[in-house]
Chain A
C-alpha cells in the first residue's frame, strides 16, 4: 500500500546560501519537501546539488539561511535528528578492510539498533548481499559496493533518506534493481527521499517532484509532467538540457503542491 505524503515539511530550506570565498555555490535556496514525498534534485556539474545535500545533512555549514530536517536546524541541532536520517553518496566509502558484515554491524551499533543481527540479516536478504557478507568491502565490485552502501543507508529505517547519484557507475540491470528497491522502501515506510541524479529516466520513475538547479539557484520546480508542459518538451532530459544551457524559459518557477 502506498503511503500518501503526510502534512508538514520533512526538509525545509530558507534562503540557504553557501559561499566559498568569492564563489557562491548555493544562492538563497528556499524549498520545502513534504513528508513521504520523493524529490529529485537535478542540475549540471557545479550547479550546487551536492553542496545543498551537504548542508541538509549538516556536514556543510551555510553562509546564511537555514536548513531544517524534521524540525531541527542542521547547523546547530543536527544530533537531535541524525538517528532518523541516513544517506548514500559516491563521495564516501566504507572501511575497505572490514567485511560487509562487520561494516554493517558497526553502523548498526552507531545507530543504536536493538536487534542488530536480525536487522543486518534482513537487509542482507533484501539487498541480496548474502553471497559476499564476509568479504572485505574493498574487494567488492562497484555494483556490490552500492548495494552495501544502500544497506547502510537503510539500516536505521530512516524517515529522511538522502541519495546522491545512487545508481552512478552501475550497469543498467543493477541500476534498475536499485530503483525498484528505493520504490519499495518508499511504498512500505513512507520515507521522505531527496534524490540527486543525472539520470533523467530514474528521476521520472521515482520522483513526485523535480527541482532543477543552475549556478546555485532553483530555476525550475514542479512535477515531471508540469515541467514538460511548461518547457514544451516531451522528455525530462530535454527540459534539463534547456535549463542547463539556459535556452529554455528559466523564469518559470513553480512550487510543487
Chain B
C-alpha cells in the first residue's frame, strides 16, 4: 500500500464536498461572518478617517484607519483558514466516523492533506466573495496588493494549518468536550499579532512575544504595503521561516496526539 495516496486525499475531499453541496446553510455560513466583519470594520475605517480629517489630527490616524479593511480580510484568512481545517475534523467527530476512517487505508497525513484542501476551499467560498464586496462598498481592492497578497496569504494559511493541526489533535485526544477550542484558540493571536495596530503600540516585553508569531510579520507587512507602498520581503521571509518550524511542530503534535489516542483507546468511543 502506497505511503501517501493522492486518491485517498481526493476521497476525503469528495466526502466534504458532498457535505457542502448538500447544505446551503453551510455555504451561506461561510460568507456570513466575513461579510458582517467587513461591513462593520469598513464603516469604522470610514468614520475614523473622516473624524481624523475633520479634527485635523491628521495623517497618522487617518493612515492607520486606512488599513482596517485589509487587516480584517487578512485576519479572516487566518481565522477561517484554521476553522476550515478544524471543522472538517469536527465533522468526523460529530458523526462518529473517526473509527471508520482510521480503520480504512487512509493515513493520518492524508487526512491532514484533505483538511488543508478543504481549508482552502472554504476560504475560496467564504472570503474571496467578500473581497469583491470590499471593492464595491468601500473602494478597497485587496487584490491590488499583487505579489504581496500572495506572500501574506501563504504565511497566514501556514499559520492557520499549524494551529489547526494542534487543535484537531487535541480534539482527537480529549473528545468533543474540547470543541470550544476550535472556535476560540485563534483569538489568542488577535491581540498578540497586532492585526489592527502596529507592534510598536505593545509594551516592550510583549513585542518580543509578538515577533514570535508569523501573523505579526504579515500585518506589519500589510501596513507597510498600504501606507508606504513597499513590499517588505524581509518580513515575509522571517514569517516563512517561523511558519516552517510551526508546521513541523504542528504535524508532530498531531501525530503524537494520534498515538496518544491509540494508547488511550479513544479512536473508538467504545468504553466497555
Residues of chain A having any CB pair with chain B under 8 Å: 18, 20, 25, 45-51, 54, 57-61, 79-80, 82-83, 85-87, 89, 91-99, 102, 105-107, 109-112, 152
Q: Does the CB pair A45–B272 fall under 8 Å?
A: yes
Q: How far apart are the CA atoms of A18 and B264 in the complex, in Å?
A: 10
| B117 interface residue per 8 A CB criterion | no
Least CB distance from A186 to B in Å reads 20
Q: Does the CB pair A91–B99 fall under 8 Å?
A: yes
Q: Does the CB pair B18–A102 fall under 8 Å?
A: yes
Q: Does the CB pair B7–A96 fall under 8 Å?
A: no
Closest 10 CB pairs of A and B: A109-B11, A92-B99, A91-B270, A93-B96, A106-B15, A95-B95, A59-B267, A60-B265, A61-B262, A102-B18
Counting chain A CB atoms within 10 Å of each CB, the highest count among B1, B18, B100, B265 belongs to: B100
Residues of chain B having any CB pair with chain A under 8 Å: 1, 5, 7-8, 10-12, 14-15, 18-19, 22-23, 91-92, 95-107, 259, 262-265, 267-270, 272
B107 / chain A contacts, CB cutoff of 8 Å = 79
A-B contacts, 23 of them at CB < 8 A, read A18-B265, A46-B272, A47-B272, A54-B267, A54-B268, A60-B262, A60-B267, A87-B103, A89-B270, A91-B269, A92-B96, A92-B100, A92-B268, A94-B100, A95-B91, A95-B92, A97-B19, A97-B95, A98-B15, A99-B22, A102-B15, A106-B12, A112-B5
Least CB distance from A24 to B in Å reads 13
Pick the contact of B10: A91, A109, A111 (CB < 8 A). Answer: A109
Least CB distance from B1 to A in Å reads 6
Counting chain A CB atoms within 10 Å of each CB, the highest count among B1, B10, B95 belongs to: B95
Q: How far apart are the CA atoms of A92 and B270 in the complex, in Å?
A: 9
Contacts A105-B14, A110-B8; is A50 near B272 (CB within 8 Å)? yes
Contacts A51-B272, A59-B267; is A109 near B103 (CB within 8 Å)? no
Q: Does the CB pair A61–B259 fall under 8 Å?
A: yes
Q: How far apart are the CA atoms of A92 and B267 in the complex, in Å?
A: 10
B15 / chain A contacts, CB cutoff of 8 Å = 95, 98, 102, 106
Q: Does the CB pair A59–B100 fall under 8 Å?
A: no
Contacts A25-B272, A59-B268, A92-B268; is A107 near B1 (CB within 8 Å)? no
Q: Does the CB pair B272–A82 fall under 8 Å?
A: no
Q: How far apart are the CA atoms of A49 and B91 in the complex, in Å?
A: 28
B11 / chain A contacts, CB cutoff of 8 Å = 106, 109-110
Number of A-B contacts (CB under 8 A): 118
Contacts A48-B272, A106-B11; is A94 near B97 (CB within 8 Å)? yes
Q: How far apart are the CA atoms of A168 and B90 in the complex, in Å?
A: 27
B100 / chain A contacts, CB cutoff of 8 Å = 92-94, 107, 152
Q: How far apart are the CA atoms of A112 and B98 in the complex, in Å?
A: 19
Q: Does the CB pair A111–B272 fall under 8 Å?
A: no
Least CB distance from A199 to B in Å reads 17
Pick the contact of A51: B14, B95, B265, B269 (CB < 8 A). Answer: B265
A-B contacts besides A92-B99, A110-B101, 14 pairs, CB < 8 Å: A20-B264, A20-B265, A58-B103, A59-B99, A61-B263, A79-B105, A79-B107, A82-B105, A94-B95, A94-B97, A96-B95, A98-B18, A98-B22, A102-B18
Least CB distance from A103 to B in Å reads 8
B105 / chain A contacts, CB cutoff of 8 Å = 79, 82-83, 110-112
B97 / chain A contacts, CB cutoff of 8 Å = 92-95
Nearest neighbor of A92 in chain B, beta-carbon distance: B99
Q: How far apart are the CA atoms of A83 and B99 in the complex, in Å?
A: 15
Least CB distance from B270 to A in Å reads 4
Least CB distance from B26 to A in Å reads 9
Q: Does the CB pair A54–B265 fall under 8 Å?
A: yes
Q: Does the CB pair A89–B99 fall under 8 Å?
A: yes
Pick the contact of B104: A51, A54, A107 (CB < 8 A). Answer: A107
Nearest neighbor of B95 in chain A, beta-carbon distance: A95
Q: How far apart are the CA atoms of A22 and B199 in the complex, in Å?
A: 51
Contacts A51-B272, A79-B1; is A57 near B95 (CB within 8 Å)? no
Contacts A60-B262, A97-B23; is A50 near B270 (CB within 8 Å)? yes
Least CB distance from B272 to A in Å reads 5
Nearest neighbor of B94 in chain A, beta-carbon distance: A96
Q: How far apart are the CA atoms of A11 and B174 in the complex, in Å?
A: 31
Q: Does the CB pair A91–B268 fall under 8 Å?
A: yes
Least CB distance from B206 to A in Å reads 41
Nearest neighbor of B271 in chain A, beta-carbon distance: A50
Contacts A54-B265, A94-B97, A112-B7; is A82 near B1 (CB within 8 Å)? yes
Q: How far apart are the CA atoms of A74 and B99 in the complex, in Å?
A: 15
Counting chain B CB atoms within 10 Å of each CB, the highest count among A25, A50, A93, A152 belongs to: A93
Q: Does the CB pair B104–A50 fall under 8 Å?
A: no
